[in-house]
């Protein structure tokens, strides 16, 4: 925790230092000596310094503004109809119950996600940005967008001045005015300033274009991924057609993020609202914002290690319980009807979890095979220099060990087949 805090502060210090390196050395050593009078110097450099001030100001706000926490009283504002778990019919359409974070132990408001770096749920989370050492969420998203815009404008301004200065030097050299010829230090500074300004302008420019698109669509980066996935599910006819509920129109989307007055869109201002409720497009089911995004129905089926799956198997097999090799009841993971979005959820179907559980007995058999093989090799070395073959070791293991189908019951989903294939292979 302490190391991550230190690293985060180093990131913010590095960004602040980079802004200063781009803005001030070029003015002091390149631009000011190029102007003939003071009035021209002020006319050209005052706008640049105002842009640098706005860069620092919006960067400070993006770093220091809390992106938004879920208040404790939020639970009292949830309609009772929303808290009713979804039935199997709605699950077949990809609609889950209200989103619940098991890490924070709280219901999630619409558009809220859990940040594993901040270790809490963030209102209208966009992403966690290491360059600001903070999450980009509801209350600092506009500051972040303005920061990227001002960075692009300032870098473009510096690039234009650098190109103008280089053009002026070349023109003077063509007319044999060698007094304006730069020295070696200035040439190096020209190259460094141009490289830094161009790289920042290019990288932050792409980021700005994407976030301007997100502003016009009234979506976050996470919601952009969710919308793409929902579109694929609809195209494949996995779920019924559903529209993104928070897209309320081009102009209204911008006003919702940047403010109602277009003249103040680039001026720092606080976000409206509380980050718990959002305007939705007309004729939208009021429950959709709480359930968004719909999921693939196949992902909502219970895991073979979940409690719900165990209960279903008991109903199918007449109430019989699955017993392990030690005659102990299998410990199944508790599950509920609520979709745990953005944090670890044992109730969600996970291929990796099941593969890990299936891999454990296989690894035990491989270790047993190694022990038998090593023991047999030691006996062979005592009586004969020839090593034991892998086939004889495998036969010895299969003859001495209990039948695989008895060790691993049918509920383990073809573990015996996987174990048998691995055992019969030569150990790498």
Which residue bears the tokens 């209208």? 124
Structure tokens at 427: 């150990």
Angle value at C-alpha 13, between 7 and 14, nearest 5 degrees = 90
Is 129 one of the annotated active-site residues of the chain?
Answer: yes
Q: Are 150 and 157 contacting, i.e. CB atoms less than 8 angstroms apart?
A: no
Angle value at C-alpha 201, between 199 and 207, nearest 5 degrees = 105
329 backbone dihedrals φ, ψ, rounded to 5°: -65, 135
Query: Looking at beta carbons, which pairs linking 85-92 to residues 24 or more positions away fall under 8 Å?
Result: 85/336, 85/337, 85/338, 86/337, 91/297, 91/300, 92/297
| b/e code 43-52 from CB counts within 10 Å (16+ = b) | ebbeebeebb
Decide: helix, strand or coil at residue 236: coil
Angle value at C-alpha 415, between 413 and 416, nearest 5 degrees = 120
Provide, for the chain, the percentages of residues in helix, strand and coil under a 3-state DSSP scheme, each rounded to the nearest 5.
60, 5, 35
Largest CA distance in the chain: 101
One-character DSSP codes across 266-322:
TS--PPPS-SS-----TT--TTHHHHPSP--GGGGSPPTTBHHHHHHHHHHTTSPPP
Count CB neighbours of 149 within 10 A.
20
Beta strand 113-115 with 106-107 is: unpaired
Of 86, 101, 115, 129, which residue is the catalytic one? 129
Which residue bears the tokens 């920042």? 200
Q: Are 127 and 221 contacting, i.e. CB atoms less than 8 angstroms apart?
A: yes
Peptide bond into 165 cis (omega under 30): no
- What is the C-alpha separation between 270 and 68, in angstroms, rounded? 12
Q: Are 277 and 233 contacting, i.e. CB atoms less than 8 angstroms apart?
A: no
Q: Which residues are catalytic?
A: 129
């Amino acid at each position: 925790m302490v190391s991550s805090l230190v690293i985060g502060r180093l990131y913010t210090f590095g960004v602040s230092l980079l802004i200063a390196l781009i803005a001030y050395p070029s003015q002091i050593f390149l631009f000011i000596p190029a102007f003939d009078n003071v009035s021209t110097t002020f006319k050209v450099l005052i706008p640049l310094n105002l842009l640098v001030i706005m860069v620092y100001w919006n960067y400070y706000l993006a770093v220091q503004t809390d992106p938004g926490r879920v208040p404790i009283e939020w639970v009292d504002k949830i309609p009772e109809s929303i808290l009713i778990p979804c039935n199997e019919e709605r699950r077949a359409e990809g609609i889950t119950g209200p989103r619940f974070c098991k890490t924070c132990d709280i219901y999630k408001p619409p558009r809220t996600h859990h940040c594993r770096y901040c270790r809490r749920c963030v209102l209208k989370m966009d992403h966690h940005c290491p360059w600001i050492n903070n999450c980009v969420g509801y209350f600092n998203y506009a500051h972040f967008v303005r920061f990227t815009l001002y960075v692009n404008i300032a870098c473009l301004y510096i690039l234009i001045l650098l190109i103008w200065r280089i053009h002026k030097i070349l023109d003077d050299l063509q007319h044999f005015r060698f007094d304006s010829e730069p020295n070696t230090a200035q040439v190096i500074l020209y190259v460094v300033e141009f490289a830094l300004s161009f790289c920042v302008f290019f990288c932050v420019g792409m980021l700005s274009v994407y976030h301007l698109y997100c502003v016009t669509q009234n979506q976050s980066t996470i919601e952009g991924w969710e919308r793409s996935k929902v579109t694929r599910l609809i195209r494949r006819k996995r779920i019924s057609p559903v529209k993104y509920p928070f897209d309320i129109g081009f102009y209204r989307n911008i006003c919702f993020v940047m403010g109602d007055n277009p003249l103040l869109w680039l001026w720092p201002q606080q976000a409206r609202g509380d980050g718990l409720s959002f305007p939705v497009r007309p004729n939208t089911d009021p429950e959709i914002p709480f359930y968004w995004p719909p999921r693939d129905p196949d992902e909502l089926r219970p895991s073979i290690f979940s409690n719900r799956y165990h209960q279903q198997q008991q109903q199918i097999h007449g109430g019989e319980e699955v017993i392990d090799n030690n005659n102990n009841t299998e410990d199944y993971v508790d599950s509920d009807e609520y979709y745990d979005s953005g944090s670890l959820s044992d109730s969600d179907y996970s291929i990796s979890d099941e593969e890990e559980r299936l891999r454990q007995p296989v690894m035990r058999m491989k270790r047993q095979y190694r022990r038998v093989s090593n023991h047999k090799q030691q006996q062979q070395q005592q009586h004969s220099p020839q090593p034991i073959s892998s086939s004889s070791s495998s036969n010895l293991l299969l003859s001495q060990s209990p039948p695989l189908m008895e060790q691993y019951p049918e509920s383990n989903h073809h573990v015996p087949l996987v174990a048998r294939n691995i055992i019969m292979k030569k150990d790498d």
